[in-house]
Amino acid sequence: MRVLFTSFPGNTHFFNSVPMAWALCTAGHEVRVASGPELVDTITRAGLTAVPVGSAETLKEKTQRAVKEMNYGSVERWHALAGTARHHLSESQGHLPGWEDLSRLYDMGITPGASIMNDSMIDDLVVFSRWWRPDLVLWDAASYAGSIAAAVTGAAHGRVLYSHDTDASMRRRFLRLKAEQPPGARRDTFREWMTGWTDKFGLEFSEDLFSGHFTIDQLPPSFRIDTGLDYLSMRYVPYNGPAVQSEWLWGDPCAPRLLMTFGLSVRDWSYLQIMSVERLQQTLDAVADLDIELVVTLQAELRERLSRIPANTRVTDFVPLQCIVPSCSAVIHQGSPGGFNISLLYGVPQLVISIANDAHLKSSHLRDSGAGLAIAPAEVTGTKIRDAVVRLLGDPAFQAGARRLREEILRQPSPAELVPELERLAVRHRR
């Protein structure tokens, strides 16, 4: 079987599919990974065969150009507007989004984002797919170029989720509300964008292009949103690029180890910065007297702006999460799929400080399962983080809640165990 993975040029989105790609390779299938040229080195360093598609313009350059064309002024302002719209659509806050809310979100956030991440790849990807003829296309859940190429060639195709399926949840409600509108008021900018491509290739638009024939979900089943779609549960396997386990991680810590990491994406996208250097310094000072080993990942230019580093704190530029999280008593992170999923996998309580689209879901799941805490970024203070750390380390109920989630995760099929099901789905859905 020939399997094509597609992802827009976002490292963490590609990382999410690497263990599945390895599993298919070791099962004897041919695997290719298509993405923008800027991701080629990252793909090949993972031991996979890359297919560069689209222009050499980087994702950051595409985003900046598109935001300028949309007259939003800056990427930061566009992200703030779209992020605010998503935040107010949180059903957990008792506000079911209305038609105007959802239409605005599609107009200013979802559809422009889909265009930025996919447009430049689609033509090349279709050309490659028509020649290579994949049996199955597995596409990152934001990389609709994959579903279009699959539809053109008749391949079966499925989404690979990187977090909660908030997009499908919103799409389901959007379509329900759309059907209730007068015929002349049923604007659907996502469908308009997608139809521009399907018309080009002689296809009929289908909601399968948004949702896939099936969806691979790596969160614990108890975290899943009900969207009415077909899901395949798969155990999360960590991968975040080339990894080296440094000597200081060869033994057990002398005190409870606490990791504080805010991801790598912030290094390219400053508006994703959760905490200012001043707020980070306040946090380090606030926990300086605790009997802990605090490990903070921070790039050199930000470390140099710290006034002091307490004796119980180690600052490092980067540490592979799979090398440190198993030895941690708690993890503080920004709600990224990597930090969230690996903490769940190893049964480590966590404190989430997140601006992610599904931040409210992560917070509620951690609270309901007893596996962690959350603080909204706007409410973060050194004192609040200290209080949360003391609770996470001092209350055994958090350890018990995290262990229960780990046991649930370990019951999920591994990527290798999922391969036979993917083989059956490929036969079932391909034309």
DSSP string, 330-353: EEEE---HHHHHHHHHTT--EEE-
Listed in sequence order, the residues at least 6 apart from 5 whose beta carbon sits closer than 8 Å to its beta carbon are 17, 20, 21, 31, 32, 33, 34, 48, 137, 138, 139, 146, 160
Residue 229 lies in a domain: yes
Residue 384 lies in a domain: yes
Q: Are residues 399 and 420 in the same domain?
A: no
Q: Are residues 403 and 422 in the same domain?
A: no
Of the candidates 383, 272, 253, 228, the one whose C-alpha atom is nearest the C-alpha of residue 326 is: 253
Q: Are residues 399 and 333 in the same domain?
A: yes
Q: Are residues 199 and 78 in the same domain?
A: yes
Q: Are residues 133 and 257 in the same domain?
A: no
Taking the model in full, what pTM does it have? 0.92
Q: What pLDDT, in 10s, does the model give residues 85-142?
A: 454 444 444 567 789 989 988 988 899 999 999 999 999 999 999 999 999 999 999 9
Domain containing residue 107: CATH number: 3.40.50.2000
Residue 112 lies in a domain: yes
Domain count, the chain: 2
Q: Are residues 280 and 211 in the same domain?
A: no
Residue 240 lies in a domain: no
Provide the pLDDT for residue 91: 46
Q: Are residues 228 and 369 in the same domain?
A: no
Q: Are residues 136 and 175 in the same domain?
A: yes
Residue 25 lies in a domain: yes
Q: Are residues 133 and 71 in the same domain?
A: yes
Residue 56 lies in a domain: yes
Residue 242 lies in a domain: no
Of the candidates 361, 399, 401, 355, the one whose C-alpha atom is nearest the C-alpha of residue 380 is: 355
Domain that holds residue 347: 247-410
Q: Which residues of the chain have pLDDT under 50?
A: 84-85, 87-93
Residue 155 lies in a domain: yes
Q: Are residues 406 and 281 in the same domain?
A: yes
Q: Are residues 146 and 171 in the same domain?
A: yes
Provide the pLDDT for residue 60: 87
Q: Are residues 66 and 210 in the same domain?
A: yes
